[in-house]
Structure 1
Amino acid sequence: MKKLSCLLLLILTSLSISSCFKDLDDERIQASDQDIQGFIYKVMSRHYLYKGEKSVLADEKFPNKAELDAYLNTFNSPKDLFSDLLFSQDRFSFLVDNYRELEQQFNGTTKNNGMEFGLVKIQSSGEVFGYVRYVLPNTSAEQNQVERGMIFNRVDNQTLTATNFNDLLTADTYSIGLATFEDGTLTPLESSINLQKQEYTENPIFIAKTLTVEQQKIGYLMYNGFRQNFDAELNNAFADFKADGIQDLVIDVRYNGGGSIELCNDLSSMVTGQFNGELFSTQVYNQNFGDKKILFNTKISSGASINSLYLSKVYVLTTGNTASASELLISSLMPYIDVVQVGATTLGKFQGSRTFYDSQDFSRNGNNLNLGHEYAVQPLILKSVNANGFTDYVDGLAPDIEIDEDFSSLGILGDPNETLLKTAIDDILGNGRPSARNQQIDLKNVGESKMYNATYQRMYVEN
Structure 2
Amino acid sequence: MKITHIKFIAVALLSGSLMVGCSRETVMPELERPTRPDTDEDLLKDSVYHYTYGFYLWQADLPNWFADVRGNTKRYNSADAVLETLKGYARDDAGNAYDRFSFLDRWGTVNAEIQQGLAGSFGFDVRYNSDTDLYVKKVDAGSPAYQKGLRRGWKILSINGNSDLSPASMERDNFTFLFGALDAGSISLLLRKPDGDEVSVTLERGTYQLQPILNQKRYDVAGKKVGYFAFDIFVSTLDDRGNPTYVKDQLDKLVAQFEADGIQELIVDLRYNGGGAVVTAEYLSNLLVPSAVGNGIMYTNKVNAGLDDFLLANNVRIDFSPVHFNKRNSLNLSRIYFLVTEGTASASELLINNLRPHIDVKLIGEHKTYGKPVGYFNWNILGVDLYAVSFQTFNAAGYGDYFSGMTVDKVVFDDLTRDFGDAQEDMVAEALHYASQGGFSSDGAGLQATARMGIAKQMSAPINQTLDRHGRKGMYNFGKKANQ
TM over 0.5: yes
1:256 Cα deviation after fit: 0.6
Note the 1:42-57 alignment, pairs <5 A: 42-56=50-64
String of CA shifts for 1:210-260, please: whole Å, max 9, x gaps: 333455322111111112142232122112211222122111111111122
Given residue 265 of structure 1, which amino acid in structure 2 is its aligned partner? Answer: E
The within-5 A match list for 1:18-417 is 30-56=38-64, 61-63=65-67, 67-87=68-88, 88-99=97-108, 101-107=109-115, 108-118=117-127, 122=131, 130-158=134-162, 159-160=164-165, 161-162=170-171, 163=173, 164-178=177-191, 192-213=200-221, 215-229=223-237, 230-272=247-289, 273-289=291-307, 292-298=321-327, 306-344=328-366, 345-358=368-381, 373-407=382-416, 410-417=417-424
- Post-superposition offset of 1:270: 0.5
Question: Compared with structure 1, are the counterparts of its residues 450 and 105 closer, same or farther at alpha carbon in structure 2 (3 Å cutoff)?
Answer: farther
**Does structure 1 retain, via aligned residues, the 8 Å contact 2:83–2:102?**
no
Check whether the contact 1:235–1:307 (CA below 8 A) recurs between aligned residues: no
Matches within 5 A, 1:9-20: none
Helix, strand or coil for the counterpart of 1:380?
A: coil
Structure 1 counterpart SS, 2:42: helix
In structure 2, the residue corresponding to 1:356 is in which secondary structure? strand
- How far apart are the structure 1 equivalents of 2:248 and 2:469? 21
Task: Output the CA distance in 1 between the equivalents of 2:438 and 2:281.
Answer: 31
Q: Considering only aligned residues, what root-mean-square deviation do their CA atoms show, in Å? A: 2.7
Q: TM-score, normalised by structure 2?
A: 0.74
| Deviation (angstroms), 1:174 | 0.9
Cα shift readout 1:338-357 (whole Å, capped 9, x = no counterpart): 10111221111111121111
1:440 pairs, out of 455, 463, 471, with: 455
Contact 1:265 1:297 in 2 (8 A): no
- How has the CA–CA distance of structure 1 residues 137 and 261 changed in structure 2, closer, same or farther, with 3 Å as cutoff? closer
Q: Give the residue type in structure 2 aligned to 1:440.
A: I
Q: CA deviation at 1:310?
A: 2.5
Structure 1, unaligned stretches of length 5 or more?
A: 1-28, 182-187, 299-305, 359-372
Q: Given the superposition, is the C-alpha separation of residues 430 and 157 from structure 1 closer, same or farther in structure 2, using an over 3 Å criterion? A: same
Given the superposition, is the C-alpha separation of residues 174 and 332 from structure 1 closer, same or farther in structure 2, using an over 3 Å criterion?
A: same
User: Cα 1:151–1:193, aligned 2, differ >3 Å: closer, same or farther?
Assistant: same
Seen in structure 2, the aligned counterparts of structure 1 residues 376 and 152 have a Cα distance that, compared at 3 Å, is: same
Q: Secondary structure at the match of 2:230?
A: strand
The change in CA–CA distance for 1:446 and 1:389 in structure 2 (over 3 A counts) is: closer
How big is the shift at 1:296? 1.1
In structure 2, relative to structure 1, the CA distance for the partners of 1:153 and 1:349 (3 Å cut) is farther
Contact 1:136 1:142 in 2 (8 A): yes
> Partners of 2:229 and 2:98 in 1: how far apart?
34
Deviation digits for residues 34-92 of structure 1 (CA, Å, limit 9, x no counterpart): 22223322220111112222224xxxx424xxx22332333322222222222333111
Identity %: 27
Which amino acid letter does the alignment assign opposite residue 69 of structure 2? L
Q: Is the 8 A contact 1:269 1:308 kept in 2?
A: no
Q: Which structure shows the higher strand fraction?
A: 1
Q: Which runs of 4+ in 1 moved over 4 A?
A: 188-191
Q: Give the C-alpha shift of residue 190 in structure 1.
A: 7.0
Matched residue type, 2:349: E
Q: Is the 8 A contact 1:119 1:447 kept in 2?
A: no
Q: Is the 8 A contact 1:264 1:325 kept in 2?
A: yes
Output the amino acid matched with 2:442: S
Q: TM-score, normalised by structure 1?
A: 0.77
Give the whole-Å Cα distance in 2 for the aligned partners of 1:50 and 1:417: 46
Instruction: Find the residue that maps to 1:228 and give its secondary structure.
Output: coil
Tell me, in whole angstroms, the C-alpha distance in 1 between the residues paired with 2:468 and 2:408: 24
Give the total of aligned pairs: 390
Q: Which runs of 5+ in 2 are unaligned?
A: 1-36, 89-96, 238-246, 309-319
Q: Assess if the C-alpha contact under 8 Å between 1:120 and 1:446 holds in 2.
A: no
Q: Secondary structure at the match of 1:256?
A: coil
Instruction: Give yes or no for contact 1:95–1:376 (8 Å, CA) kept in 2.
Output: yes
Query: Structure 2 vs 1, CA of residues 180 and 223 (structure 1 numbering), >3 Å: closer, same or farther?
Result: closer
Partners of 2:198 and 2:269 lie apart in 1 by: 34
> Rg bigger for which structure?
1
1:141-172 deviations in Å (ceiling 9; x for gaps): 23333221122253101234232212121112
